[in-house]
Structure 1
Amino acid sequence: MIWSLCLLFVAGAVHTSPIRKTSKTEYKVAPQEEVNVLMFGVLQFGESLNYAYETTEAKIARISRSLKNTERTLQKLGKQTEQAAEVEKQIKEVIQLLQAQMAQQHAQTTKTKEWLTSLEKEEQQLRTKVNRLEMYLSNSVPPSIKELQERAEEHDKVLRGLQLLTELQKEDIESQNEQLAKLQKMSEVLT
């Protein structure tokens, strides 16, 4: 529409006619060229306003899209933050469980060590008794040598059984110490 008006004025389709003289004042008519220049300026101003309106509208649309994208990003970040908080909570729970297991393993290891120490003492006492018995047998003639040999064999079997139990307990303690070390490493990694 603006271009069609511009073409009309440029082509000279619109002519100005002189204004009639009135009684007291005379009016001068502006020359056609000045009117054309003035109309062309008005048309250019209208086009500039239209361009400013269109570009402002496009900028507002871009800003609106950018705001929507920013809002979506903020929502995603909010969800990720919630998920991270949940993961952190789960990690803390796992750490607490690991620490409880470590404390339990430590207590069990301590008890096993104490029991093993008492077994070793009993084993030593039995060895001492067997040695004394052997010395007694070698120094004196008992009423029944066969009976004493049977007792010595029984004591020997008991000693061997205790030695086997002691070895098994030592292996168990070593295994528990390894598990405890692994749990401590896992706890250190998680914290």
Structure 2
Amino acid sequence: MIWSLCLLCVAGSLRAASAGPVRKTSKMEEKAAPQDEVNVLMFGVIQFSESLNYVYETTEAKIAKISQSLKSHEGTLQKLEQQTEQAAEVEKQIKGVIQLLQAQMTNQEAQTRITKDWLISMEKEEVALRKKVRRLEMYLNNSIPTSIKELQERAAEQSNILQDLQHLTQFQKETIETQEEQLSKLREMSEATTLSF
């Protein structure tokens, strides 16, 4: 736009200069261009200025479109960054849950092992007590009548202890079964969490 105004001013001054009175000399007549050539030249200058103006305007529009596209891309990049940060946070939380489940499984397995060992030792004690009870019964059958009452009391005492041990053993077996069920559930949760991750 500015170029076209400048060129119009130049063209106007050239016309004014050509329209003013000029003394004709022989040298001037030789150098002066005909009016048609000046008009053609001015028309070319005007067309050139219009072309420049068009190029300027189209370039400005293209730059505006590029700028708008860049802003749109910047918004998309910001959204992607936010989504990446959220995904990293979710991944961190999932890893924390997996570690917690693994720790719980390790503790549960250790408790189950301890309980199984204790149960094995209790079963051994039960077997030993049964042998003692049998020995006492044999002794009672072969002992003299005066010590029978004392031996019967001991046998009843041992029998009570044996029953208590049987109850305790049964309770421990149930505890182990419960712990194994919990371990199985923890394993399933851990596998499900790992698969979803």
Matched, 1:100 2:103: yes
In structure 1, list runs of 5 or more residues that go unmatched.
Answer: 3-15
Q: Distance in 2 between matches of 1:24 and 1:45?
A: 32
Does the 8 A contact of 1:116 with 1:169 survive in 2? yes
Deviation at 1:130, TM superposition (A): 1.5
Q: Distance in 1 between matches of 2:141 and 2:58?
A: 120
In structure 2, list runs of 5 or more residues that go unmatched.
Answer: 5-17
TM-score by length of 1: 0.72
Residue 52 of structure 1 corresponds to: 55
Higher relative helix content: 2
Does the 8 A contact of 1:19 with 1:29 survive in 2? no
Matched, 1:70 2:78: no
Matched, 1:116 2:149: no
Does the 8 A contact of 2:140 with 2:152 survive in 1? no
Residue 5 of structure 1 corresponds to: none
Q: Distance in 2 between matches of 1:47 and 1:99?
A: 77
Q: Calculate percent identity across the aligned residue pairs.
A: 67
Question: Which is bigger in relative contact order (C-alpha 8 A, separation at least 6)?
Answer: 2
Residue 168 of structure 1 corresponds to: 171
Q: Distance in 1 between matches of 2:148 and 2:162?
A: 21
Deviation at 1:150, TM superposition (A): 4.2
Q: Distance in 2 between matches of 1:42 and 1:173?
A: 102
Residue 82 of structure 1 corresponds to: 85
Residue 29 of structure 1 corresponds to: 34
Does the 8 A contact of 1:19 with 1:28 survive in 2? no
Cα deviation digits, residues 133-164 of structure 1 (max 9, x gap): 22222334442545544443333332222122
